[in-house]
Structure 1
Amino acid sequence: MKRKLLFSTLALLCFGGNALAGGPSADGNYHALYQAAPGASAEVAQVGCTEDLGCGCETPCDCDVAACEPDCGADALVGCDVGCDAGCDGGCDSGCGCGFGNGFFSKLGGCDLGEPFALFGECGNLSAGGWVQMGYHTDALPLFNSRPDEYQLHQAWLWAEKAIDTSCGFDIGGRIDYIYGTDSQDTQAFGIDNNHWDNDWDNGPDYGHAMPQLYLEAGYGDLSVKVGHFYTIIGWEVVTAPDNFFYSHAYTMYNSEPFTHTGALATLAVSEDVEVYGGYTFGWDSGFEDNGDSFLGGVSLALNEDISLIYATVAGRFADKGGNTEKGYMHSIVADVALTDSLQYIFQSDYLDTENQNDAGVRNTFGINQYLIYTLSDCLAAGTRFEWYNQEGVFSAYGTETDIFALTMGVNYKPHANVVVRPEIRFDWDDDLVAGLDEGEEQTTFGIDTIFLF
């Protein structure tokens, strides 16, 4: 136990300090923020053409302020050389387009993501895209990464969407997602007892196809409603690889949270800082049929510029698989805190309590996940995750209670705007031997994957 506490303490301290941009958002959309470098540079150039750069420089570097003031847009980028180029060597090392930020990292060189490319791109409110994720890990983890010592295709993903725009009143849109790879069978409608929807789209024991999202969305003003098959709002980690910091997943996400729902979900923006959700679903991970009756809802709060809080819950009948009905309640609470401009802290707590009618069994879990994301530049970020997972009736026979611990440390490196490389090292402890680790009570796993976006 002392060793576990030592590792957890080191994990939460080893990435402290000052650097640059923030980490993932509360909804897990890390990729969207991590790819925002081109737009961010343009914004810095505009600020750089004023008397105060707002980036640690008392003077506007080598920029002629008078020449720039009439047009601080694209011309400023050329005329002022991004406002801070010369200042990097003279003290302007706050990271506004000038390499890796403060101190040691500013000497490592600049970060050039290049221009992102897209096979499909956008046309008005219509957009389409995808990615390919391939990875390797040394040991099996019963959390998606279950094929050790094998370079594998996890996700070959395609999506298409018509986003709604309610600025002028009513609008309607929708989205469809398709996946092929080893992650597909974990994203199918496996909550049903038959092979309806995509539950039998398998290609051998591990590979297969899935359609995890197919929904229509309508909106008017601050209210929107999804109807169809869509991802859950529970938790911080998600199925889509580009929207997670780590290659591997948490026990909580895989064993105690739904992945998809079928039903209807409404979202209301009460104010700029408050959103509420509420809807009806056919249980967990089910297709287009009545396999459960549950409420899905929650609330998102922006407490201030640096702290956001999300509470999401599912309650009711989760599944009726082969006449074996499971019902109960679960919730996730996620706090996302910007400790500095470069250091993001995420705290997540999940609670699940269900019972099975046929054999009077229970499934009760409680988990705490903590993340630190430390962004060194637009091209490089480091992170750590420590999880405590307490479960009863998940891995083993009902009535068995156990604690599982996992510490993950990893890096996200972007050599290009369309490429993410995620090496990591992970330590798991399971004294009761119920988690299915390859190495028994303790396991050290090295993993690395690459995501190509288009």
Structure 2
Amino acid sequence: MKLSKLALIAAIACGTYAGNVFADQTNDIQLVSCCEATSCDCGEPACGCEAALPSCGCEMGCDGGCDSCGGCPVGGALDCLTGDCCLGDPYSLFGEHCGWSAGGWVSLGYHSKGNALFNSRPDELQLHQAWLYAEKAIDTSCGFDIGGRIDYLYGTDSQDTQSFGIDNDHWDNDWDNGPDYGHALPQLYLEAGYGDLSVKVGHFYTIIGWEVVQATGNFFYSHAYTMYNSEPFTHTGALATYEASDDLSLFGGYVLGWDSGFEDNGDAFLGGASLGLTDDLTLIYATTFGRFDDGDAGVENGYMHSIVADYAVSDSVQYILQSDYLSTENASGATVRDTFGINQYLIKTLSDCWAVGGRFEWYNQEGVFSAAESDIYALTLGANYKPHANVTVRPEVRFDWDDDQVAGLEDGEDQTTFGIDTIFTF
């Protein structure tokens, strides 16, 4: 049953409130941060720390630098927007032991209009990701090491990250719960390394593109057309990584097509390089070519690459330019998909608690939404607010333009969408 818009906004607001309650439950972490902060009046505790001071057991000093707010407490007022904020350390349900770690997150969101880019249930509260993972990270500083990772996902994002690249419902592709919700195991791999070389074998996320499936890895709540329609999500196979120097990483391996489980869906190369051109500029080239798919539409062969330039304009401003190209054909040589996209991101960090950003995309497609060539544009303006180290709230306003009306926008040629989600990590 659909919730009313008022109830939906209240639900998201409750997520923010829950973050503050959650912060109170981790009081030991916050007391340390409050004790270390000082106001501009020597000997006085920082704003919001007075009640905690008796149990701190620490001395207030005058040698700490004061910002305009004297050290913002968790959930501080908006006048602390550009000052420091006492986020404290993130709470971990499982922690890390002898290289092993486990955790997860929950992502709940609302968007006013549908665009079929993960956000599939407009005008209602949507559970995008209930995520659990366990990992043994490798450490090759002393020689050979072995590790691995497993990820489990439930929510509306799961059906887009299942192994749908082959039409026999293998692996997790039939783990559905209705038309939108379901389960997925998007990663299950072993990793071994020695020195500067490591090899990952199994089922893992792609290295293509800048945006990722995981809600915790993206600035914006919504996704780009390029990421959703022209990039793979997962692969099954083997991928090697070689750290050639402090500034150069090389990738290369063999995968069973795109979005495949542990059955042969194709034969493709996956690889690329990451190069630090300067201290502020990193260039990443990733490519995959070969046989991508053997699904309902038949065989799909082709070439795809993604070029990402990540530039630190200043200590607080980040600019990302991404260009994707995809060209595929079927067994008879006819075009299946021919796309080109340019995405630009500009992100400004205001404080540990606040950041704002914009994304502009031009997506040229043929064969994705229609056989004819057409252009789609999208502008997204958003913010990230962290009331606690474990909570992120991401409001945004998105504008889409589609003159040929091929993308299936709810409002036709152009559309304005409000969206907001809250991510709780543990």
> Which range, TM-score by smaller chain?
0.7 to 0.9
2:278 paired with 1:299: no
Q: Does 1:372 align with 2:346?
A: yes
Partner in structure 2 of residue 133 of structure 1: 107
Instruction: Say whether the 8 Å CA contact 1:161–1:174 is kept in structure 2.
Output: yes
Which of 414, 420, 425 pairs up with 1:442? Answer: 414
Q: Counterpart in 2 of 1:208? A: 182
Q: Structure 1 residue 416 and structure 2 residue 388: aligned? A: yes
| 8 Å contact from structure 1 (residues 84, 98) kept in 2 | no
Q: Is the 8 A contact 2:81 2:350 kept in 1?
A: no
Query: In the alignment, is the contact (CA less than 8 A) between 1:246 and 1:410 conserved in 2?
Result: yes
Matched, 1:123 2:100: no
Counterpart amino acid of residue 315 in structure 1? F
1:322–1:412 distance in 2 versus 1, CA, 3 Å? closer
Superposition map of 1:78-89 within 5 A? 81=61, 83-85=63-65, 87-88=66-67
Alpha-carbon distance between aligned partners in 2 of 1:82 and 1:345, rounded to the nearest angstrom:
38
**For the residues of structure 2 that align with 1:392 and 1:443, how far apart are their CA atoms?**
21
Q: Which amino acid aligns with 2:210?
A: W
Matches within 5 A, 1:188-337: 188-322=162-296, 324-337=298-311
Q: Provide the rounded CA distance (Å) in 1 between the counterparts of 2:241 and 2:275.
A: 13
Q: CA deviation at 1:115?
A: 3.4
- The one-letter code matched in structure 1 to 2:394 is R
User: Structure 1 350/107 Cα, relative in aligned 2: closer, same or farther at 3 Å?
Assistant: closer
Are the structure 2 counterparts of residues 383 and 289 from structure 1 closer, same or farther at C-alpha, using a change threshold of 3 Å?
A: same
State the identity %: 72
* 2:377 aligned to which of 397, 405, 408: 405
What does the per-residue CA deviation read over 1:354-385, in whole Å, with 9 as the maximum and x for residues that have no partner? 11125823310000000011000000000100
CA change 1:186–1:82 in 2 (3 A) is farther
Change (3 A) 1:125 1:107: closer
- Which residue of structure 2 aligns with residue 433 of structure 1? 405
Q: Which runs of 5+ in 1 are unaligned?
A: 1-37, 46-60, 64-77
- The 2-side partners of 1:107 and 1:275 are apart by 37
* TM-aligned CA deviation for residue 267 of structure 1: 0.0
Relative to structure 1, the CA distance from residue 88 to residue 401 in structure 2 (aligned partners, 3 Å threshold; closer, same or farther) is: same
Distance change >3 Å, CA 107–CA 192, structure 1 → 2: closer
Kept after mapping to 1: 8 A contact 2:93/2:103: yes
Q: Distance in 2 between matches of 1:80 and 1:297?
A: 53
Q: Tell me the C-alpha RMSD between the 2 structures.
A: 2.6
Assess if the C-alpha contact under 8 Å between 2:293 and 2:299 holds in 1: yes
Q: Helix, strand or coil: the match of 1:184?
A: coil
Kindly provide the CA deviation profile for residues 401-443 of structure 1, in whole angstroms up to 9, marking residues without a partner as x: 0000000000100000000000000000000000010000000
Q: Deviations over 1:128-160 (max 9, x none)?
A: 000000000000011000110010110000000
Aligned residues between the structures: 376
Instruction: Name the structure 2 match of 1:19.
Output: none
Match of 2:122 in 1: 148
Q: Deviations over 1:189-225 (max 9, x none)?
A: 0111111000000001110000000000000000000
Equivalents in 1 of 2:261, 2:419: separation in Å?
32
Aligned residue for 1:25? Answer: none
Residue 31 of structure 1 corresponds to: none
Tell me the CA shift for residue 304 of structure 1: 1.5
Q: Which amino acid aligns with 2:250?
A: V
2:407 aligns to what SS in structure 1?
coil
Pairwise CA distance, 1:116? 1.7
Q: Which has the higher contact order (CA 8 A, sep 6+)?
A: 1
The CA deviation at 1:323 is 7.8
Equivalence for 1:72: none
Listed as ranges, the matches of 1:335-346 within 5 Å are 335-346=309-320
Contact 2:289–2:304, Cα closer than 8 Å, also in 1: yes
Kept in 2, the 8 Å contact 1:105–1:376? The answer is no
Q: Closer, same or farther in 2 for the Cα pair 1:432/1:417, shift >3 Å?
A: same
1:186 to 2:164 alignment: no
Amino acid at match of 2:138: I
| Counterpart-to-counterpart distance in 2, 1:235 and 1:293 | 20
Asked if the contact 2:67–2:83 (Cα under 8 Å) also holds between the matched residues in 1, the reply is no
Deviation of the 1:119 alpha carbon:
1.1
Query: Structure 2 matches for 1:153-168, cutoff 5 A?
Result: 153-168=127-142
Over residues 48-84 of structure 1, what are the superposed CA-to-partner deviations in whole Å (9 max), with x where a residue is unaligned?
A: xxxxxxxxxxxxx989xxxxxxxxxxxxxx7785954
Which stretch of the first structure deviates more once superposed, 270-279 or 318-327? 318-327
**Residues 324, 358 of structure 1: 8 Å contact kept:** no
User: Can you give the 5+ residue segments of structure 2 that lack an aligned partner in the other structure?
Assistant: 1-28, 44-57
State the partner residue of 2:7.
none
CA 1:228–1:62: 2 relative to 1, 3 Å = same
2:143 alignment partner AA: G
Deviation at 1:183, TM superposition (A): 0.4
Note if contact 2:140-2:194 (Cα within 8 Å) is conserved in structure 1.
yes
CA–CA distance in structure 1, aligned partners of residues 97 and 91 of structure 2 = 15
On the 8 A contact 1:297/1:313 being kept in 2, the answer is: yes
